[in-house]
């Protein structure tokens, strides 16, 4: 259910209204054929693969017209050993180039959900990322938690971040991942009006806290499944983690190297999110409440 105080209605003209913000519910073809599931049906982020997907329950089918425009991409439905590695919080002047070196070594391509402040500080890294076949998507202006501000202010920040990011990349921004995975209902609906599709994840390494490289890599390796969207980081720009004194010191490039080594042994390849969702049926979930992510 939506958080208390939010109102969602579907108007006769096909528009969805959330907290007073009207958003076009007309979605690209790949969203209309999407599989819409409850969040818990997709599995815990550390559940082992291959994670077969259940059929949608009756409530999801009945509520599809209202829920689909508010849903987030979690993974895709496929039996092929293909997935998307995704990296949040960059670019970082040292760690991101090291990650790009490792990805190039393995011939893997990924999606980087970036912070606009960091993009403007290091535009050359963004240009290299794009030139090497990776995808750039929006994570925010900074790592502020947008569920802590009014919905309209959150949308204003997303709009500004998108505009500033596109000024550097020279390309339209297609995807948005909210910081902490925390998604208010106004943003869930309003991001569509900004031309953004919300992307969360279906596997992670929990790499926002420090730990041994192999232990961190093993969490992601164990959770790999066909069609996964894997959450990783090329830096930690998280005031909550910093306040707890838990900022990582391990090599993110080495974590990625070990994940890619295991992926190669299992026949997996990584492609950007845009390519993944264009090639396969998208699995979407309504995540307008905060997911179980306490520190991201």
Phi and psi at residue 158, in whole multiples of 5°? -65, -45
* Size (the chain), residues: 296
Give yes or no: 233 in active site: yes
Kind and range of the H or E element at 22?
A: strand 21-24
Phi and psi at residue 73, in whole multiples of 5°? -70, 130
CB 91 within 8 A of CB 125: yes
Phi and psi at residue 285, in whole multiples of 5°? -140, 145
Which of these is catalytic: 19, 88, 197, 237? 88
- Give the angle 177-138-203 at the CA atoms, nearest 5°: 35
Report the alpha-carbon distance of residue 259 to residue 203 in Å, rounded: 12
Q: Which residue has the tokens 């240009």?
A: 127
Per DSSP, the three-state class of 120 is: helix
Report the alpha-carbon distance of residue 233 to residue 231 in Å, rounded: 7
Which of these is catalytic: 122, 225, 233, 280? 233
Give yes or no: 88 in active site: yes
Burial of 42 (0-12, 13-18, 19+ CB in 10 A): buried
Which residues are part of the catalytic machinery? 88, 233
């Amino acid at each position: 259910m939506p958080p208390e105080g939010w109102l969602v209605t579907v108007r006769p003209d096909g528009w969805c209204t959330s907290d007073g913000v009207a958003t076009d519910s007309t979605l690209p073809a790949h969203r209309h054929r999407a599989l819409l599931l409850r969040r818990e049906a997709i599995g815990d982020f550390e559940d082992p693969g291959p994670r077969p997907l259940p059929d949608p329950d009756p409530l999801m089918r009945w509520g599809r017209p209202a829920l689909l425009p508010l849903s987030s991409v979690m993974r895709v439905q496929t039996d092929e050993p293909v997935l998307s590695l995704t990296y949040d919080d960059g670019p970082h002047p040292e760690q991101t180039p090291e990650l790009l070196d490792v990805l190039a070594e393995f011939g893997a391509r990924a999606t980087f959900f970036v912070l606009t402040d960091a993009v403007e500080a290091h535009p050359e890294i963004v240009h290299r990322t794009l030139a090497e076949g990776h995808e750039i998507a929006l994570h925010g202006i900074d790592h502020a938690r947008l569920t802590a501000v009014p919905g309209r202010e959150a949308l204003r920040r997303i709009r500004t971040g998108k505009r500033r990011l596109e000024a550097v990349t020279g390309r339209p921004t297609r995807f948005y991942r909210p910081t902490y995975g925390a998604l208010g209902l106004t943003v869930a609906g309003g991001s569509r009006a900004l031309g953004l599709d919300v992307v969360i994840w279906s596997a992670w390494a929990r790499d926002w806290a420090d730990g041994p490289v192999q232990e961190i890599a093993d969490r992601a390796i164990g959770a790999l499944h066909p069609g996964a969207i894997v959450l990783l980081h090329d830096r930690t720009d998280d005031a909550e983690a910093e306040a707890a004194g838990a900022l990582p010191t391990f090599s993110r490039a080495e974590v990625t190297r070990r994940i890619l080594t295991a992926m190669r042994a299992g026949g997996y390849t990584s492609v950007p999110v845009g390519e993944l969702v264009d090639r396969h049926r998208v699995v979407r979930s309504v995540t307008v409440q905060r997911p179980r992510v306490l520190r991201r």
